[in-house]
Structures are given as structure tokens and as C-alpha cells.
Structure 1
Amino acid sequence: MLARDWYYNERRQIGLDSAVASIYELDDDRDARARATLDMLNVQRGWRVADIGCGNGVLACEAAMLGADVDAIDISPAMLALAEIQAGDRKVAIRTQSAGLLSFAYQPNSYDLVVSEFTLHHLPDFWKAVAISRIYNALKPGACFFLRDIVFVSMPDGSERDVEAWADFNAKNHGFARDSVVTHMRDEHSTFGWVIERMLTDVGFALVLADYHAPLHGAYLLRKPKSGEQG
């Protein structure tokens, strides 16, 4: 399927080099945030976990430290190299896979948890739905998917106001230049929160939590129903 000429090419996306990877090294709170996320998700020893779009691998490594069997997946060689360094520093074992949301390898019904943070927006909406369906199929019945991404909370007529607020927020809180926000708006594929919610539930997920926090950020906790349960 991936060889078909109409299939979306994830590797043409911007931001796959070491310069972008270096941004992650500026984030001093990443360990604490990863631990808080894993605590919230109640990750257990022996779980099979996939972190798709793993970035520098901190969350994947923290999950491995809890005793999970972890696949750290990213389309960027620079990011995977950072993930392997993180694993070496923490003396944990993770499996790295050079792939994206549309190409990661999986066995159906095999994961206890899938996490994807700030990755889905790289795909146009049609391919977002394809990616979500693949994640749904990869999860065991009763297992969860945690998604965090850049989404638009407002309706389209609020875009100019919200984009400027988002740029200001990132400059003050994360040290990102306004140019990075401009690049995102022009070249990437964030969509509305209500569109994401519809994609997630139409695939079959039960929406456990939708949390819209800070300008244009959303987090979603989804559960794949067990046989006989309603989605």
C-alpha cells in the first residue's frame, strides 16, 4: 500500500533535520511533563507502548523506566538519534522505528497504549483520519490512545486574533519566535478541535477526555471499546 503513487509522503514534511531537533534541547521541563503524562495514563510494567512522533524520546524512555515495552517511532533520523542518546543516558531499552503515523509497523490489537504528541498536525485532514484508524487497529480492545496536538479551538472567523495570541504565548512561554508560528500556519495542517473529535469518534474511539488548554493546544484521551461495548 505504501508504494502506491497516491499515498501521502510523510517524509516531505519540513522539520526533519538536526536544527529542529536542537529545539527540543531547550525544553528543561520535558522530563517532568513526560512523567506527569505517564502518571495520568497509569502506565503499568509490562505494557506495550508506542510513542509515535517520539521526538527526543524522553516520554518513551520514561515509559521504559516504568517497565513498559516501548516502541519509539519518528520520521526524523535526527529525532531518533536523540531518542537513542536519551535511552543510553537512562540505561533503558527502547526500540526505535523510522516511520510516521501512516507507515509505522504494527500487529493488530497489540498495544496497551499509544501516545502521539504534536505530530498529527503534519498530515492533511484526510490522512489524519487514516492515521487515527491505523492507531485504533493497533490497540488492544480496552486500551487507550493519548493525543496532544496543535488545534484551533475557535471558529474560522477568530483565526487572526487567535494566531497572534498563540504567537505571543509561545514567544513568552517557550522562546519560539513568531516566525515559527507563521511557518506552522502556512505550511502545516492543524485543524479545528471539533474536526479532530469527530475523526476520533467516527473511527470508533470512546472520547474519555478533551482538554483545550493554552492558545490552540488540545489533549484527548481515547479508549478503544471492548467487544460488545458502545464506542
Structure 2
Amino acid sequence: MLARDWYYTQRRRLGLDSAVASIYDRHDDSDLRARAALTMLGVQPGWRVADIGCGNGVLAVEAALMGAEVDAIDISPAMLALAKIQASDRKVAVRTQPAGLLSFAYKPNSYDLIVSEFVLHHLPDFWKAVALARIHAALKPGASFYLRDIVFVSMPDGVDRDVEAWADFSIKNHEFDRDSVVTHMRDEYSTFGWVIERLLTDVGFTLVSADYHAPLHGTYLLRKPKPGEQS
């Protein structure tokens, strides 16, 4: 087997310091939105949950408050520091792991739920598939994967219009500046929604739902089939 010096590393895209990480800590209703998502996903006490790309740890902490055993995973030390503060402030135990979609440690068939929000676009499409296959392997049969990301719904002839709308939406609703939008389009790897859906089903997931909302946002609910079920 070839040495793994060819293996893609998300750490080369690391660059988040505490100042940048603080952007993700400004939304007062983020805990309510996280709790609503986790309730929709049916989180139960005793579940094993992983939040990959956990950011400031709000969702991970909310899952812990619901009685789950939680792994908060992120490649950014600044983000993990925020997650630890969140957990301490809310008086819950959350395990942190400095890793990304391609490097998080797991035991096969061990998680009841994995969540990943706005992280997959950091990977080129081949490596998206590798990451999704790892998530599939980490989940218990019958368990769910909840994915949100920045995706293209229209074809390229509509991209100019969509990107302008997304820029306006992100600036007005998420306090990002235009440079962040420019950097994303130029240097990151958002892809089409239909590509994401095909990647998800090809690695073995059943696509429960796909919701395309707001400019360039997609939300996917997936299930890992039990043995004998069709994916």
C-alpha cells in the first residue's frame, strides 16, 4: 500500500484564531436552534453523538444536556476552546477531539447520531466521499446523520445571481463580511446539491430528506440502513 503522504489534510486550511472563532459565538438563539434540531432528530439519554466541526460547541452542549454522551470534534484549537467553555458554563461533560472529517477517531458502528454543519465544503469532492464513507462506518445500523452545508442548487448560469443573494443574506443575517464570501467562492469547495445527494447514497446512506433553503444552503437527513434493508 502507498504511504499516506498523498492523503488530504484539512489542517492546511486551519487558520481560525480566537478573533475569527468569536464570529460563531454571536447568535443568542443558537442554543434554541440546536435544541430544536436535536429534538427533531429524537436524541435520547444515553445516545452516543458526534458533532464534527463543532465550532463553539453549542449543539454538542445541548446534546449533552439532553443526556447524550457527546464527542465535540473540530480541527480548530480556538473552536475547541470555545466548546470547552460552553460545556463548563452549562455544567455538562463533553469530550473534545482535535480532528476533522478525514481524521476523527471512531469505532465502527458506535454512534447513534452524527451531526456536521457547514464543514463538508472544505473538502474537494473526492475527499467529501471519503469523509462521508467514514461517517457511515462510524454510525450504528439504523442511526442518523444530519448534514448542513453550503451547496449550489442551480447550474452555473445562475451562480452569479445566487452568489450575490448569498452574500447579502450572509452579511445581513450572520455578520460575515464580503471578503468571507469572496474567499469561500475562490478557495473552498462547495458543490451542487445533486452531487452531495449522489455521494451520500453511493456510500450507503438512505436519503430521508433534502431541504434547499436560503441562498446556497442545503440540509440533509440520512439514515444508515440496518442489515437486509435497501439503502
Match of 1:59 in 2: 59
Aligned amino acid, residue 33 of structure 2: R
Match of 2:183 in 1: 183
Deviation at 1:169, TM superposition (A): 1.1
Query: Which deviates the most, 1-10 or 119-128?
Result: 1-10
Match of 1:145 in 2: 145
Mark the runs of 5 or more structure 2 residues left unpaired by the alignment. none
Q: Distance in 1 between matches of 2:2 and 2:167?
A: 36
Q: Distance in 1 between matches of 2:82 and 2:175?
A: 21
SS at match of 1:5: helix
Deviation at 1:26, TM superposition (A): 1.7
Query: Which deviates the most, 174-183 or 133-142?
Result: 174-183
Q: Normalising by the residue count of structure 1, what TM-score does the alignment of the two structures yield? A: 0.97
Match of 2:81 in 1: 81
Q: Distance in 2 between matches of 1:95 and 1:2?
A: 33
Q: Distance in 2 between matches of 1:2 and 1:95?
A: 33
Deviations 1:130-150 (A, max 9, x none): 000000000000000000011
Match of 1:50 in 2: 50
Runs of 4+ in 1 over 6 A off after TM superposition: none
| Pairing 1:105–2:105 present | yes
Mark the runs of 5 or more structure 1 residues left unpaired by the alignment. none
Report matched runs for 1:103-142 at 5 Å.
Answer: 103-142=103-142
Deviation at 1:15, TM superposition (A): 4.0
Aligned length: 231
Match of 1:90 in 2: 90
Q: Distance in 2 between matches of 1:40 and 1:191?
A: 26
Q: Distance in 2 between matches of 1:104 and 1:65?
A: 23
Q: Distance in 2 between matches of 1:15 and 1:180?
A: 13
Deviations 1:133-174 (A, max 9, x none): 000000000000000011111111111111011101112222
Q: Percent identity?
A: 81
Query: Which deviates the most, 10-19 or 76-85?
Result: 10-19
Aligned amino acid, residue 73 of structure 2: I
Aligned amino acid, residue 171 of structure 1: I
State the superposition RMSD in angstroms: 1.3
Contact 1:16 1:75 in 2 (8 A): no
Q: Normalising by the residue count of structure 2, what TM-score does the alignment of the two structures yield? A: 0.97
Deviation at 1:19, TM superposition (A): 2.0
Deviation at 1:175, TM superposition (A): 2.0
Match of 1:168 in 2: 168
Aligned amino acid, residue 38 of structure 1: L
SS at match of 2:190: coil
Contact 2:31 2:59 in 1 (8 A): yes
Match of 2:37 in 1: 37
Contact 1:2 1:103 in 2 (8 A): no
Deviation at 1:16, TM superposition (A): 2.3
Change (3 A) 1:133 1:84: same
Deviation at 1:14, TM superposition (A): 4.5
SS at match of 2:136: helix
